[in-house]
Amino acid sequence: MTRPRRMPTLYLSHGAPPLADDTRWTRELADWSAELPRPRAILMVSAHWEDAPLTVGATTDAAPLTYDFWGFPQRYYAVTYPHPGAPGLAERVSALVSGPGRHVHQDPARGLDHGAYVPLKEMYPDADIPVLQVSMPTLDPAELLELGRRLAPLREEGVLIVGSGFTTHNLRLMSPTTHGDAPAWSSEFDDWTHRTVLDHDVDALLDFEHKAPAASLAHPRSDHFAPLFVALGTSLDAHDRSTSTVDGYWHGMAKRSFQFD
DSSP conformational letter for 168:
S
Whether the pLDDT of residue 181 is over 70: the answer is: yes
What are the φ/ψ torsions at residue 227 (nearest 5 degrees)? -60, -20
Q: What does the pLDDT read at residue 1?
A: 54
pLDDT over 90, % of the chain: 86
* Confidence band of 2 (pLDDT split at 50, 70, 90): low
Q: Classify 102 as helix, strand or coil.
A: strand
pLDDT digits (tens, 9 = 90+) for 29-49: 999 999 999 999 999 999 999
User: Are 178 and 22 contacting, i.e. CB atoms less than 8 angstroms apart?
Assistant: yes
Q: What does the pLDDT read at residue 71?
A: 86
DSSP run (H or E) holding 191: helix 184-198
105 bridge partner residues:
55
DSSP run (H or E) holding 232: helix 227-233
CA atoms in the 13 A half-sphere facing the CB of 237: 11
User: Are 173 and 183 contacting, i.e. CB atoms less than 8 angstroms apart?
Assistant: yes
**Nearest partner of 233 among 116, 144, 171, judged by Cα:** 144
Share the mean pLDDT of the chain: 95
Whether the pLDDT of residue 70 is over 90: the answer is: no
Q: What does the pLDDT read at residue 76?
A: 92
Whether the pLDDT of residue 259 is over 80: the answer is: yes
pTM confidence score:
0.96
| Distance (Å, whole) CA 17 – CA 142 | 30
**Nearest partner of 116 among 127, 101, 104, 100, judged by Cα:** 127
Instruction: State the average pLDDT over residues 209-218.
Output: 98
**Nearest partner of 199 among 139, 247, 151, 258, judged by Cα:** 258
pLDDT digits (tens, 9 = 90+) for 103-136: 899 999 999 999 999 999 999 999 999 999 999 9
Q: What does the pLDDT read at residue 188?
A: 98
| Distance (Å, whole) CA 240 – CA 8 | 10
Whether the pLDDT of residue 187 is over 70: the answer is: yes
Q: What does the pLDDT read at residue 102?
A: 87
- Is the bond preceding residue 53 a cis peptide, omega within 30 degrees? yes
Q: What does the pLDDT read at residue 99?
A: 85
Look at 96 and 179; give whichever has higher pLDDT.
Answer: 96
* Confidence band of 238 (pLDDT split at 50, 70, 90): confident
pLDDT digits (tens, 9 = 90+) for 139-177: 999 999 999 999 999 999 999 999 999 999 999 999 988
